[in-house]
Amino acid sequence: MSKKIFPLQADELEKIIEKYPTPFHIYDEKAIRANMKRLFKAFAWAPGFREYYAVKAAPNPRLLQILKSEGAGADCSSLPELILAAKTGITGEKIMLTSNDTPADEFQKAIELGAIINLDDISHIDYLEANAGLPKVISFRYNPGSVIEGNDIIGKPEEAKYGLTREQMFAAYAIMKEKGIKRFGLHTMVISNELHENAFSTTAEMMFKLAVELKEKLGIAMEFINLGGGIGIPYRPEENEVNLEAISANIKKLYEKIMLPAGLNKTEIAFESGRAITGPYGYLVATVLHEKKTYKDYIGLDASMANLMRPGMYGAYHHLVIAGKENEPSTYTYDVTGSLCENCDKFAVDRKLPKIAIGDRVIIFDTGAHGHSMGFNYNGKLRSAELLLKEDGSVELIRRAETIDDYFATLRGFKGSII
């Protein structure tokens, strides 16, 4: 079981809301730092262990500064993410650009920053060389096909648009070796939000064996193997959190069994976790505006799917509590909804909760990754503010809420304020 505890009391939350109206996302700095330290400690045995934080999970420069100070690099997949990483002081080989139908300007920026480039397809070699030149370090993303099952979120590897086949991997590394590249890495990403420890062992074994074969057949010794992200978090209270220490111990055994006899004792292990690092330590706080009684009881919030897409997009579960009513019996059944003109705009369906009143504060858990970052402006909705609960207990505004002027800012033909 995982405990779902909001780090603020109801009266403390009200003082914050007096200054920063709901809805907003708030992140717990102390918990994020402790979580990052735990990851590095778990893999302290691994030579040069790397964590490339998946910027897409929570692309806020203040959060990236915190993660950088704890040793993280940045996993980027767009030009703005590359620039964001650089502006927060993450540069050089602390950045990995994972290619995905990548345009030339993204490759060019990655080369300029000295980032590691992780190619998604063998055909990208010529495109990269023609448009940006070749980097000092190259990696390729492996798609094992039916060898790995995948899961519900990431899907079956053989149906995914990502990565190279096994045959293409050998061909791609041979091409790059002929072109004079001397430093290589290896990458895969085949699981997402995974809570079962054996899935990580399966991935590690597959990648270690591939690294050994690449050395034997092509004479290439991998500098690093990036095992991807995919470490899950317990969105439901009845779920158990992933045992990082057990995952690490299992990977260590495989490393010693497969890598060391092949002379790959200096190959570094890397992850590109996002959800697992910040996910559990972000919260969406909203206020109850309406209660509607028709065929069901609906609780309408001032937040919507524009603030948190996962429940509406995936049917994903996010735990929620009513501030100040955490210990009251959950004897009422509600659908908790937003104001978007879409019927899927629901944070919870048939959820057992305490009696809810207009004006109550609803706290939605585990929004520290793929929460605010997946926001949008459909239906004219504006993205909410982001706050940081600092280690000393103070609160910092790290992204202001969008305004109507922001919404119209990219249009032409308007002068000055719209309203």
Active site residue 344: no
Domain with CATH 2.40.37.10 in the chain: 280-408
Give the residues across from 53 on adjacent strands.
Answer: 74
Average pLDDT over residues 162-190: 96
State yes or no: pLDDT of 205 exceeds 70.
Answer: yes
Q: How far is CA 15 from CA 10, 11, 316, 395, in A?
A: 9, 7, 31, 10
DSSP state of 296: S
Q: What is the pLDDT of residues 319-360, one digit of tens each?
A: 999 999 999 999 999 999 999 999 999 999 999 999 999 999
Instruction: Report the distance separating Cα 184 and Cα 341, nearest Å.
Output: 49
Average pLDDT over residues 188-211: 95
Task: Kindly give, in sequence order, each residue whose CB lies less than 8 Å from that of residue 354, ignoring residues fewer than 6 positions away.
Answer: 322, 325, 328, 329, 330, 331, 332
**What is 51-98 written as a DSSP string?**
EEEEGGG---HHHHHHHHHTT-EEEE-SHHHHHHHHHTT--GGGEEEE
Show binding-site residues for substrate. 275, 310, 314, 342
Q: What is the pLDDT of residues 258-306, one digit of tens each?
A: 999 999 999 999 999 999 999 999 999 999 999 999 999 999 999 999 9
The 10 Å Cβ neighbour count of residue 53 is 29
Phi, psi of 55 (to 5 degrees): -55, -35
Tokens matching residue 92: 């050089």
Q: How far is CA 30 from CA 33, 404, 418, in A?
A: 5, 33, 40
**What is 120-170 written as a DSSP string?**
S-TTHHHHHHHHT---SEEEEEE--GGGS--BTTTB-GGG-S-SB-HHHHH
User: What's the pLDDT score for residue 153?
Assistant: 45
User: What's the pLDDT score for residue 154?
Assistant: 47
Q: Average pLDDT, whole number, for the chain? A: 94
Domain with CATH 3.20.20.10 in the chain: 43-273
DSSP state of 357: -
Catalytic residue (choose from 5, 44, 341, 419):
341
Question: Looking at this protein, which amino acid is placed at residue 396?
Answer: E
Under CATH, to which class is 280-408 assigned?
mainly beta
- Percentage of residues in the chain with pLDDT exceeding 70? 95
User: What's the pLDDT score for residue 125?
Assistant: 97
Task: Kindly give, in sequence order, each residue whose CB lies less than 8 Å from that of residue 316, ignoring residues fewer than 6 positions away.
Answer: 235, 310
Average pLDDT over residues 214-243: 96
Under CATH, to which class is 43-273 assigned?
alpha beta
Most distant CA pair in the chain, distance: 70
Cβ atoms 201, 254 nearer than 8 A: yes
Where is 42: in which H helix or E strand? helix 29-42
Count helices and strands in the chain by DSSP H and E runs:
12, 17
Q: What is the pLDDT of residues 368-398, one digit of tens each?
A: 999 999 999 999 999 999 999 999 999 999 9
Show binding-site residues for pyridoxal 5'-phosphate. 230, 272-275
Where is 398: in which H helix or E strand? strand 395-399
Give one word for 409, left, alpha or beta, with left for phi > 0 and alpha for psi -120 to 50. Answer: alpha
Of 107, 102, 173, 105, the closest CA to residue 139 belongs to 173
